[in-house]
Amino acid sequence: MSEAGSGRTVVVAGGGLAAAKTAEALRGEGFEGSIVLVGAEAIVPYERPALSKGYLQGSAERASLDVHPADWYADNAVDLRLGAAVTALDVAGHAITTADGDRTRYDTLVLATGSRARRLDLPGADAAGVHHLRDVGDSERLRAALRPGARVVVVGGGWIGLETAAAAVTAGAQVTVVEVAELPLVRVLGPEVARVFADLHRAHGVDLRCGVGVRDVVAGDSGEGANVVHLDDGTALPADVVVVGIGAAPNVELARDAGLELGGRDTGGGVCVDEHLRTSHPDVLAVGDLAAAWNPLLGRRIRVEHWANALNQPAVAARTALGVPASYDRPPYFYTDQFELGMEFTGWFDPTQPYDLVVRGDLDSREFVAFWLVEGVVAAAMNVNVWDVTEHLGLLVRSRATPPAAHLADPAVALADLAEG
């Protein structure tokens, strides 16, 4: 690529954090060519974490969600095209087509089309009063429905489900969470730490139903306007509000139809990219929720649906697009706030495979640091209501350190010293 990329066009397909940060990173790297950002939503790119946290609870202002003010795009010569999703990708012709029929040619394409909320595949899944939480409109409609005394059934005990449950309780609703696994979050944290979250919600009055699925949703009569959620065990749960939080599906259709390599079940789907975030076509990159990326630190391909990937991968994608050596090897990072519990998690491990858990602090008091060791290596760590340690935990995970378990558990041993080896 020429010194500043003059005369070249980078198209960014997507309207979220990853898309906006890609445009920002390109300009930050000195790219002087054309940047076209195409988003399906008719509003400027915004961040999504607050949709199930502060914005859902009414404590975050709408403007705080936007990645950049609306005038930033014009000020930085970003051609912002909103409200027209990309509907076709021609990798041979280096062009995209949008829903309004426009065809735009690119030299490099960055796919940042994210993911969508998974739907229940059962009778009544589309009944009135059934909510999903993926965009700002979803959050606003759900916030309006979370009234004092409302009967809320949350289907799914993952991060979105539990954060929504906490918001509903805070709003004065009566909340039931239905989770098919034996504990919420057990597939992410393992049973020992998952139990902390189960106990937290039960302590706040959440009726937590585990080990059972949903059979159907039956619409109530027009007089009551409420639904009934039937569970597999025969239980009938009246519900003024039903929230479905059963995960997200990557928007791979463009890539699939264009013949790009896709990830398998072991990665959670997505579009396969290397550590430089390049897909199976050298002029097409992918970032954010969509990317099933090879992570050199982990020695495997993973797809991560968390804010940190959308925030940090674009800098690598921009450098790759400009021909500057760069690779993405950060460990996954995510956070949550539920009731009085705040936590940050760094790293990755598979709870279905052997691991050792070491805890510094007390699980029952919900003030601790947890370490997951795989073959003696600190694969992941999580701080719960313990602050100013995330940087040290990140260094510990990145270093693939093997400190003695006794040192990890001992509060007298500084985490900074462990991170430095």
Mean pLDDT by 10-residue block, N- to C-terminus, for the chain (421 residues)? 73 97 98 97 96 95 97 98 96 97 97 95 91 96 96 97 98 98 97 98 98 92 71 96 95 97 91 98 97 94 93 98 96 96 97 97 97 97 96 94 95 89 63
DSSP run (H or E) holding 250? strand 248-250
Q: How far apart (Å, rounded) are the C-alpha atoms in residues 231 and 190?
A: 25
State the pLDDT at residue 223: 41
- For 58, 144, 210, 221, the CA distances from 50, given in Å and listed in that order, are 10, 16, 26, 34
Q: What is the pLDDT of residues 1-37, one digit of tens each?
A: 445 667 899 999 999 999 999 999 999 999 999 999 9
Which pTM value belongs to this model? 0.94
Closest to 113 (Cα-Cα) out of 198, 210, 54, 39: 39
State the pLDDT at residue 267: 84
Let me know: does 171 contact 161? Beta carbons within 8 Å. no
Q: What is the pLDDT of residues 260-290, one digit of tens each?
A: 999 998 888 999 999 999 999 999 999 999 9
User: What six digits make up the tokens of 224?
Assistant: 């009551």
CA 243 to the chain's CA centroid = 17
Q: Which residues contact 221 (CB under 8 A, 6 or more apart)?
A: none
Strand, helix or coil for residue 170: helix
State the pLDDT at residue 173: 98
CB atoms within 10 A of CB 23: 29
State the pLDDT at residue 421: 63
Residue 83 falls in which region: left (phi positive, over 0), alpha (psi -120 to 50) or beta: left
- For 25, 28, 30, 151, the CA distances from 6, given in Å and listed in that order, are 16, 15, 10, 58
- For 3, 193, 297, the CA distances from 326, given in Å and listed in that order, are 17, 35, 14
Closest to 336 (Cα-Cα) out of 233, 199, 185: 185
Sign of the CA dihedral running 354, 360, 365, 367: negative
